[in-house]
Amino acid sequence: MSASLVIAPPVSFALAHTPWIVERVARLDEFLRRCERLQQARQGPFQHSTWLRSWYATVIAAHPSVEPLLLAARAEGDPADALLMPLIVRRKGLMAIAEGADLGHGVPCAPLVRDGLQLSGGDLGSLRRALLEALAGVDLLMLDRLPERLAAGPNPWVQLFDTVRADSVSHGLALPDGADIALRLHGPAEGLDLERCWRHFHCAPDARFVRASTADEGLRLLRQLAILQHRQHARATVQAARPPVDIAVHEAFVRDNLASGRAVMTALMSRDEMVAGMCSLFDGRGLTVLRGASGSERWSSCAPRTLLLDRTLRALHPAGCRELDLGVGEAALAEVLGASVRPLRQACVALSLLGQVHALAWKLQRMPRRKDDELAAA
C-alpha cells in the first residue's frame, strides 16, 4: 500500500497536558456502537458500522496476523467522540505498520467525523500529537486513497499529515431530483442509444433485470458475479484493472445487509447466464459500486454494464438515490457516464527509526509526483 512522508521522532510523547485525547478502543463491538452514535451525521459508505462490522469480522478471521486498531478522539472536557478512526496493524518483517481498513478492497480511507466539527490550526497540532502518542509501538502509519473532502468537510487525515497524489482516483456522478434520470452518455459512447441497447438485450432468451430480494438470492448472484469477474480479468490485457478482490467481505456484507436494502445485488440475466452483475452499497442517498462485471464479448453491442447501472439507478431513485460512486478502477465506465474525477491522496508517517528507513525510500519514489503537484499548484 502506498502513502506522503512525514518523519516523526521516535514515539515517546509524554505530554503533561493536551486539549485533545486519543484512545485505543479495545473491543470492536464497543467501537461499532460508538460509530452508530456518530452516524447521525452523514458519513462515507465505508465509515458506516454495517460495512465495518462485515469488513473487520471477515478480514480478521482470514488474516490472523492482522489486528484491528480502533482509535477514538475527543477534545478534553468533552465526553463525546469527535473522530473515530478504523485502522489495522499488520507486520512486514520487523516493522509494525498501521493502515486504513482496506487490504486491497479499494476502500477510501477516512475517519468518522462528528457533525459540525471544525479543526483549527491549534486543534490539528494538538490532535496530531495525541494521535502519534496513541500509535506507540507502531513503526509506520500508511494511509492510501484519502478523499480530499468528506460530506462533513475536509478529510481530517489530509489536514493532519503531509500528502501526495495517490496512484488512483475515484469517480462520481450526481443524479437529478426529477423523474428523468436517464444516463447521459459521453466520449466514445455519446452516440449510443440506450433504448436500442435495451431492445437488443431483450431479444435474448428470457432476458431480464434481477434485483435480489433475499440474502440467499443475493449470495447466489454475487458468486456468479465473482466468476464473471475472473473470466473478464482473464480476457483483459496486462494493463487492465487489478484482479477481483476476495469475495468473503462482500458475502458477509450481502448476508447481513441485503434485507435492509443497504446491500444491493443486481444483474442482467439471460436464462441462467449472467450478462452483467453488480454488487453495491446504498446509504439512502448514494450508491457505491463494490464490484461489477459484464459477460462475454457477444454482449458488448448492448453495453450491459451501462444498462445495468441505468436500471439499478431507476430502481433506487424513488428511495432517494441521488449520487453514484464508481470507486476506483472504473475509468472506462466513468468516461462513458461523464463521471467527475474525485482526487485521492496518500500519506506515510514514520514513527520510529525503523519506519524512517521505509518512509525515506517511499518519499524518494514519489519525488516526481510531488514536483508535479507543486507545479500544478503554482
pLDDT tens digits along 323-334: 999 988 788 888
Q: Per-residue b/e over 89-128, b at no fewer than 16 CB within 10 Å?
A: bbeeeeebbbbbbbbebbbbbbbbbbeebebeeebeebbb
In whole numbers, what is the pLDDT of the chain averaged over residues?
Answer: 87
- Cβ(11)–Cβ(136) below 8 Å: yes
- Alpha-carbon span 59 to 77, nearest angstrom: 35
Please tell me the pTM assigned to this model: 0.86
| Residues 34 and 89 both lie in one domain | yes
Question: What pLDDT band is residue 244 in, cutting at 50, 70 and 90?
Answer: low
Question: What pLDDT band is residue 42 in, cutting at 50, 70 and 90?
Answer: confident
| Residues 160 and 229 both lie in one domain | no
| Residues 226 and 301 both lie in one domain | yes
| Residues 328 and 353 both lie in one domain | no
- Alpha-carbon span 275 to 212, nearest angstrom: 15
Least confident of 45-59, 64-78, 188-202, 242-256: 188-202
Which range of residues forms the domain containing residue 95?
A: 5-168+343-377
* pLDDT reported for residue 157: 96
Mean pLDDT over 295-315 rounds to 90
The CATH code of the domain that includes 144 is 3.40.630.30
| Residues 238 and 255 both lie in one domain | yes
pLDDT tens digits along 136-178: 999 999 999 999 998 878 999 999 999 999 988 999 998 877 6
Mean pLDDT over 58-84 rounds to 93
* pLDDT reported for residue 190: 59
**Number of domains forming the structure of the chain:** 2
Single-letter residue type at 357:
V
* pLDDT reported for residue 194: 84
Examine the pLDDT at 197 and tell me if it is beyond 70.
Answer: yes
| Residues 312 and 194 both lie in one domain | yes
| Residues 200 and 302 both lie in one domain | yes
| Residues 178 and 160 both lie in one domain | no
| Residues 147 and 19 both lie in one domain | yes
User: What is the H or E stretch that residue 356 is in?
Assistant: helix 353-365
- Cβ(321)–Cβ(173) below 8 Å: no
| Residues 33 and 123 both lie in one domain | yes
| Residues 191 and 107 both lie in one domain | no
Least confident of 24-28, 158-162, 366-370: 366-370
Neighbours of 181 (CB within 10 A): 15
DSSP 101: S
What secondary structure, in 3-state letters, does 23-71 show?
A: EECCCHHHHHHHHHHHCCCCCCHHHCHHHHHHHHHHHHHHCCCCEEEEE
* pLDDT reported for residue 38: 87
Neighbours of 33 (CB within 10 A): 12
| Distinct helix (H) and strand (E) counts, the chain | 11, 18
- Alpha-carbon span 365 to 361, nearest angstrom: 6
- Cβ(147)–Cβ(362) below 8 Å: no
| Residues 283 and 358 both lie in one domain | no
Mean pLDDT over 292-318 rounds to 91
* pLDDT reported for residue 378: 59
